[in-house]
Amino acid sequence: MKQVFQSLKTGETSLTDVPAPQVKPGHVLIRTRNSLISAGTERMLVEFGKANLLDKARQQPEKVLQMLDKIRTDGLLPTLDAVKSKLDSPLPLGYCNAGVVIGVGEGVEGIKPGDRVASNGPHAEIVCVPKNLCAKIPGDVDDEAAAFTVAGAIALQSVRLAKPELGETIVVTGLGLIGLLVVQLLRASGCRVLAIDFNDARLSLAGNFGAEVIKLTETDSPINAAMQFSRGLGVDAVIIAASTKSSKPLQQAAEMCRVRGRVVLVGAVGMELKREPLYQKEITVQVSCSYGPGRYDPSYEEEGNDYPLGYVRWTEQRNLEAFLLMLAQKRVDITPLITHRYALEKTHEAYKTLTDDNSALGILLQYPVVESEEVLPSKISMPNASAISMHKATKENVPTLGWIGAGNYAQRILLPAFDKVPNSFLKTIVSRGGDDAALAGKKYGFHEATTEVDDIFKDEEIDAVVITTRHDSHAELVCKALRAGKHVFVEKPLAITPEGLNEIKAAYEDSKKKPLLMAGFNRRFAPQIIKIKKCLANEKAPKAMVATMNAGKLPSNHWLLNPDIGGGRILGEACHYIDLLRFLAGTEMVSVKATPLGDNSSSLCQSATIILSFADGSIGTLHYLANGHGLLPKERLEVFCGGKVFQLDNYRRLRGYGVPGFKKMNLWRQDKGQGNCAKEFVQAIVDGKESPIPYQELIEVAEVTFKALEELRR
């Protein structure tokens, strides 16, 4: 199927072939009929992409500060790599979609195949949308009008925050698509509206919708106009729908308002406020968050948990439904707002109009009309597939890899690492959404991309599977791969429950071929860790090891802290250092003690100390902390043994004290071992050797990590 993407690096918009997505639990699968290009948000993204690096930096000063902090802690080259990777990742465009339901996931009620729905799906022929982010279209609302629903919900939420009452006077600053919808919604609420903009055509539209209008010029004073409009009292509220770096609209809004007036920002404007008018009038200033309550809440959007109507009257979905009802009742008219229509295959022309034509408002993309039962392919071949196949055919003893998951870590770190391994063939990459699999597949030379995960396990040509999905899926996918006789490289952790770990153990023991099983514990493969291990190879004395992870705090709604999805930070991240200390000790762990910092539940615990005791008398102390400062390097390791001391800072600077023939090993670029980790896994397959991380050590580390969690629960 076709989907629209935009390059953050060049600003180029492309119509790309991607596999059709699969329906997920709690989601709705929709075949698109129309989608609306956002004249505000998408124009801003395209212009950002076309800007040079200096202008990009000027537009995002907070990102520049983050980059400088990362340079201080991780070094220049890793920071530049991270920036380059971010800019090289195409961005899916669009969030105003109308189409026909072709599938519903488990747990979806009230929507069935054949229903027409509006959603926040992207510009793509088929979209998969959470059930709380779509709404059924009334029969007397056509598909073109329904494509405006999400934009309408954004406008409606800003109006709700302004709390308009019958007869109030309200100013709307900025008459783009959202501003003109706000004007209509306010008029439908019985308010007198003063609309302000520079553009004559948009002022004319606002006038036709029942607003009084004023054109901004260098000499006109919108404040005086607002005072006249309100008969000298000051307006009741101002809704700012403009987009500008200037703080002038916000400052003027405060001057326009009456005592205890309200200002609502739905557009992106400067936020420098003057205290005096706000203080003297007790002005309320509020920023409107997208479609309404539920936005950016994973529990609502991803898990489908609705807010009780009696406590949260208007949610994202209920705002979508309310706007559709306004369309059905002819209370809002979007016909004058449609300025352009383009067939999907002419997407490039549509975005050229967006950037070149200032009169453009509602730009609609029209999709091919097909039979609802027609199924678009869930697998596509990459453009360079034939060349790769020929390369594979000329090589002997080259493992063929299948890849599951194409998220941020996979694309930034692991895929580049495996791509550099010369003796492997990246054949199939799969992701449930399809778009990220197609983009990653094209970038890293995969033969094909698909949304059907079982394709990986059924393919007899695939020798090994790399799993980089969210943690809750690891155990199931590992078991399927092992039972299919595939070698497995899975990002840590192996499982997020003891039951999942037991299933992996059973699958491994039942497998006749005993394929390699390896977790992504890359730190033991870092060159500086290998150096420490080599220097201590002949030491018989026990070691005292202290590892500190300045992990930084995550928001409480982060997926990693969800015990059912991420398993928590101790299980999902601290396990790295449990494995590393096990590797350096070189002998099994015999006991574990874990203490949380403060009052922490085990699943949300972000700061804890874990003490490991080893069979040879060595001890390892891991301080996993989220209460530190971002300018402190993230990781430090100290090893004391037989009069020797090693101090490693952030995998860049290694110092040795009392170590014959060794003083330091500093790197230009941080190296946490991901490249060596990938290379060793593939080479073990080629050579027919055991896993670079012995199976028993993998299981031991997982079991000790679960014991640490048990300690935290106490």
User: In this predicted model, what pLDDT tens digit does every residue of 546-565 receive, in sequence order?
Assistant: 999 999 888 888 889 888 89
Domain stop point among 287, 313, 345: 287
Based on the fold, state whether residues 265 and 318 are members of the same structural domain: no
Based on the fold, state whether residues 329 and 355 are members of the same structural domain: yes
- Lowest mean pLDDT segment, chosen from 80-94, 224-238, 477-491, 665-679: 80-94
Domain stop point among 339, 365, 391: 365
The per-residue pLDDT for 695 is: 95
Q: Tell me the CB-side half-sphere exposure of residue 675, using CA atoms within 13 A.
A: 9
Higher pLDDT among residues 81 and 699, named by residue: 699
- Residues 671, 648 contacting (CB under 8 angstroms): no
| Strand ranges across the sheet with 2-6 | 13-17, 2-6, 91-92
- Lowest mean pLDDT segment, chosen from 9-18, 77-86, 510-519, 559-568: 77-86
Under the banding of pLDDT at 50, 70 and 90, the label for residue 603 is low
Q: Is the pLDDT of residue 670 over 80?
A: yes
Separation of alpha carbons 256 and 261, rounded Å:
9
Using one digit for the tens of pLDDT, what is the confidence trace for 294-321? 999 989 999 999 999 999 999 999 999 9
Neighbour tally for 389: CB within 10 Å: 14
> By residue range, what is the domain housing residue 126?
2-148+297-365
CATH number at residue 386: 3.40.50.720
Q: What is the pTM of this model?
A: 0.86
The per-residue pLDDT for 395 is: 56
Domain stop point among 522, 555, 587: 522
Q: Is the pLDDT of residue 50 over 80?
A: no
The per-residue pLDDT for 386 is: 46
The per-residue pLDDT for 213 is: 93
The Cα angle at residue 480 between residues 513 and 498, in degrees rounded to 5: 100
| Closest CA relative to residue 150, chosen from 369, 322, 20 | 322
The per-residue pLDDT for 371 is: 66
Burial of 222 (0-12, 13-18, 19+ CB in 10 A): buried
Separation of alpha carbons 670 and 650, rounded Å:
7
Based on the fold, state whether residues 198 and 331 are members of the same structural domain: no
The per-residue pLDDT for 47 is: 73
Using one digit for the tens of pLDDT, what is the confidence trace for 151-184? 999 999 999 999 999 999 999 999 999 999 999 9
Residues present in the chain in total = 714
Using one digit for the tens of pLDDT, what is the confidence trace for 622-643? 999 999 988 888 999 999 999 9
| Closest CA relative to residue 204, chosen from 28, 433, 359, 347 | 359
Residue 455 lies in a domain: yes
pLDDT (mean) for 239-252: 91
The answer to whether the Cα torsion of 294, 295, 299, 302 is positive or negative is positive
pLDDT (mean) for 239-262: 92
Q: What is the mean pLDDT of the chain?
A: 90
Based on the fold, state whether residues 104 and 192 are members of the same structural domain: no
Q: Is the pLDDT of residue 388 over 70?
A: no
- Residues 57, 64 contacting (CB under 8 angstroms): yes
Based on the fold, state whether residues 580 and 466 are members of the same structural domain: no
CATH number at residue 608: 3.30.360.10
Distance between the two ends of the chain, CA-based, in angstroms? 52
Residue 401 lies in a domain: yes
The per-residue pLDDT for 85 is: 67
Higher pLDDT among residues 453 and 60, named by residue: 453
Residue 681 lies in a domain: no
- Residues 186, 165 contacting (CB under 8 angstroms): no
Using one digit for the tens of pLDDT, what is the confidence trace for 687-714? 999 999 999 999 999 999 999 999 988 7
Residue 371 lies in a domain: no
Residue 411 per-residue DSSP state: I
> Based on the structure, what is the number of domains in the chain?
4
Q: Which residue carries 């898990």 as its tokens?
A: 303
Q: What percent of the chain has pLDDT over 90?
A: 72
Under the banding of pLDDT at 50, 70 and 90, the label for residue 372 is low
Based on the fold, state whether residues 120 and 156 are members of the same structural domain: no
Q: Which element (helix H / strand E) includes 43?
A: helix 41-50
Under the banding of pLDDT at 50, 70 and 90, the label for residue 384 is low
Q: Which element (helix H / strand E) includes 250?
A: helix 248-256
Residue 685 lies in a domain: no
Based on the fold, state whether residues 566 and 485 are members of the same structural domain: no
Residue 682 lies in a domain: no
Under the banding of pLDDT at 50, 70 and 90, the label for residue 393 is very low
Residue 264 lies in a domain: yes
Based on the fold, state whether residues 468 and 571 are members of the same structural domain: no
What are 76's two structure tokens? 């220049």
Residue 338 lies in a domain: yes
pLDDT (mean) for 610-620: 97
pLDDT (mean) for 347-366: 92
